[in-house]
Structure 1
Amino acid sequence: MSKKKLVVPNARKALEDYKIEIAKEFGVDDPRTLASKHTGYIVRNLVEMGERQLINKNKN
């Protein structure tokens, strides 16, 4: 993962935790070994989560 400064400092830990969660779903012991197709799944899922959060935020 890139070591660039994040806008939200907690984002790196949250992403690492999420990668571990997804790795467990795929039955992968080490999240660093996730193939690119898994990484694509993770990104797609994160985008969907963000979209849902924006929709819910705009509803309120």
Structure 2
Amino acid sequence: MSKRKLVVPNARKALEDYKLEVAKEFGVNDPKSLASNHTGYIVRKLVEMGERQLIDDNNN
């Protein structure tokens, strides 16, 4: 993991929890064995979630 200081300290734990959830979706028992394409999938899903949240916030 990066040693950069996080703006939201709980973000690292939340990201690790999300990676475990996605690993289970892929049927991967060991999250350390996630390949780069799995990581790319995780990033795409996070971006989609953020975009949806921004759209929802702007519509309300």
Instruction: Give the TM-score, by structure 2 length.
Output: 0.94
Q: Which whole-Å CA distance do the structure 2 matches of 1:9 and 1:55 have between them? A: 25
Runs of 4+ displaced beyond 3 Å: none
Q: Percent identity?
A: 82
Unpaired runs of 5+ residues, structure 1, are none
Unaligned runs of 5+ in 2: none
Q: TM-score if structure 1 supplies the norm length?
A: 0.94
Aligned length: 60
Find out whether 1:18 has 2:50 as its counterpart. Answer: no
CA deviation vs aligned residue, 1:6-36 (integer Å, no higher than 9, x gap): 0111110110000000000001111111000
Q: How large is the RMSD of aligned CA atoms in angstroms?
A: 0.7
